[in-house]
Structure 1
Amino acid sequence: MSQARLMDGTSLARRILEETGKRAAGLTERTGTAPCLATVLVGEDPASVTYVRMKQNRCRKAGITSRHVALPAATTTEELVGTLEALSADPGVHGILLQHPMGEHIDERAAFEAIAPGKDVDGVTFASFATMSFGLPGFVSCTPGGVMRLLDEYGVDPAGKRAVVVGRSAILGKPAGMLLLARDATVTYCHSRTRDLSAAVREADIVVAAVGRPRLIRGQDVKPGAVVIDAGYNPGNIGDVDFDSAAERASLITPVPGGVGPMTIATLLEQTVDAAARQLGAAGV
């Protein structure tokens, strides 16, 4: 029998999206312009196609216009950069999401940096990472931002706690650690070169698993009473945490699916409305 309480990202995301929809409607009424999110997809990776379609559906429900740009798999870095620069210069587009992965021939960082910081609603640029790290106005990386909202929803104050982030990607692991650090957690990053990962995780009051390896974190690795956030996604709806065994020791745990995933999309759309409000001169909406 599982002992941990579930951190229900689905219900929290639903509430965020309801509020986002109200704000989008108010912005549209006040300015005559609906918030617009442009999604850019290179190639036809089935998981990415599904994910983009899901985001478009959520946009529609929230009163956000979506513009999809589908590019062939053979698109070069230069062509992709040109597309993103054009969207950045388009006043009818308020937020830009570049779906990844993009193919090994694409310079991912160059592509991300072609997105104007004011439209980087996915929080993937250097500028967004810097503003997030320094606590300045800007956009957070969506999944880490969703993680922090979940912690707040369930009354988890990171201050003074030991947090272990397993994973160091530029748009998930690294920003998750910086957001926790900004909230006065003592943060340890772990990764593929970490020696004795289990020992490091056992010290954690808060565990964020974000490495993309199925069931890497097992129940025996979890400190009794720890909060376990599974931000990993692997084929078959399997997370980075062995849920059943970890739930026996954790106090709070996110399910996969239904935990971090819905929060990522909710954060993306919330930030799209934020971006539109700033660009349309209606920041109070």
Structure 2
Amino acid sequence: METKTAKILDGKALAAKIHQELSSRIRESQAKIGRPPGLAVLMVGDNPASAAYVRNKERACAKVGIASFGKHFQAETTQKELEEVIAALNQDEQVDGILVQLPLPDHLDAVTLLHQIDPDKDADGLHPVNLGRLVRGEAGLRSCTPAGVMRLLQEYEIPLKGKQAVVVGRSILVGKPMALMLLEADATVTIAHSRSQDLSAITKNADILIAAAGRPGLITADMVKPGAVVVDVGMNRITDASGNSRLVGDVDLESTAGVAEFITPVPGGVGPMTVALLLENTVTSYFRKVGS
């Protein structure tokens, strides 16, 4: 008997397509506007994973024609210094998007810093004003990872209206905004988390299953409804016995691919979409500001 295997939701390919679209929009408008869009990424300390993410974002900016105003601070930088930098960037006409790369050193308060960012320059879409706009169904900058998931589902013409969607994870970064976006698309949404009783019984009801708990291999084949769409938001670095490290998701891809109809790989699924939507938020802010 032939073994069925899930179709891949290719975030890498879709991200490349979005990059191309943004690049041509910027090229067409830049002469008229007189400057490119600008993104400022603030990084504090020398966390190697953060440094890799920031490099990746800056490369992506260069590819589409967004100017990078990256600032790298010593680990001992104070809260006040960072707040002053954000205040200056809020006023800077060249800068359309601002984001603070997490995690920050322990002595800094990330939430307070986020609150200092002008909501219309909030490239990550995480400011309370933008989350409030999402709750109310109003236009605003959307949280990049869940917005990237929605775009991926749209690209593959996966119907959401009236479907049972389960989001595993309730973080403000992914789980909560993800649930709101699915609700906005007329799905029936359940949010499950580490304290949910009988997680498997909940996930087996899902036509659309979004795993965003940050626990490697949490979702196994027996937890997935046959023919479901499985989106793996997890990004977990694990090290094997011989010291080699690799990136895995929250879903056991190998077993689950035999049950699901569509699945996202890790890496190459949601990750590239997060960066693409970050660039898109910056460009949206740019066009809104210049009124074109």
* Interval containing the TM-score (normalised by the shorter chain): over 0.9
5+ long unaligned stretches in structure 1: none
Counterpart CA distance in 1 for 2:163 and 2:131 is 23
Q: After TM superposition, give the deviation of residue 216 of structure 1 in Å.
A: 0.6
* 1:10 aligned residue: 12
Q: Cα RMSD over matched residues?
A: 1.1
- Aligned residue number for residue 254 of structure 1: 264
Return the letter of the residue paired with 1:202: K
Indicate if the aligned counterparts of 1:123 and 1:171 stay in contact, CA closer than 8 A: no
Alignment partner of 1:145 is 2:155: no
Given that 1:36 and 1:66 are in contact with CA atoms closer than 8 Å, whether structure 2 keeps it comes out as yes
Are residues 1:276 and 2:286 paired? yes
Amino acid at match of 2:289: Q
The secondary structure found in structure 2 opposite 1:96 is strand
8 Å CA contact retained: 1:201, 1:207: yes
Structure 2 counterpart of 1:196: 198
* 1:16, distance to aligned residue in structure 2 (A): 0.6
TM-score in terms of structure 2 length: 0.94
TM-score, scaled to structure 1 = 0.96
Q: How big is the shift at 1:89?
A: 1.6
1:124: which partner in 2? 126
- CA drift of 1:2 comes to 5.4
Match of residue 176 from structure 2: 174
For 2:210 and 2:224, the matched residues in 1 are separated by 11
Deviations 1:61-92 (A, max 9, x none): 10110011111222233332222122112111
Partners of 1:251 and 1:169 lie apart in 2 by: 26
Q: How does 1:1-285 map to 2 (within 5 A)?
A: 1=3, 3-235=5-237, 236-282=246-292
| Unaligned 5+ runs, structure 2 | 238-245
2:136 and 2:258 mapped to 1: Cα distance? 37
Q: In structure 1, how many angstroms separate the alpha carbons of the residues matched to 2:95 and 2:4?
A: 46
Question: How many aligned positions are there?
Answer: 282
Deviation at 1:133, TM superposition (A): 2.1
- Could you tell which deviates more after superposition, 141-150 or 153-162? 153-162
State the secondary structure of the residue aligned to 2:247. coil
Q: CA offsets, 1:192-219, max 9 Å, x none?
A: 2111111111111111111111111111
Identity of aligned pairs, percent? 48
SS across alignment from 1:104: coil
Tell me the amino acid that sits aligned with residue 194 of structure 2.
S
The worse-fitting range, judged by mean Cα deviation, of 178-187 and 127-136 is 127-136
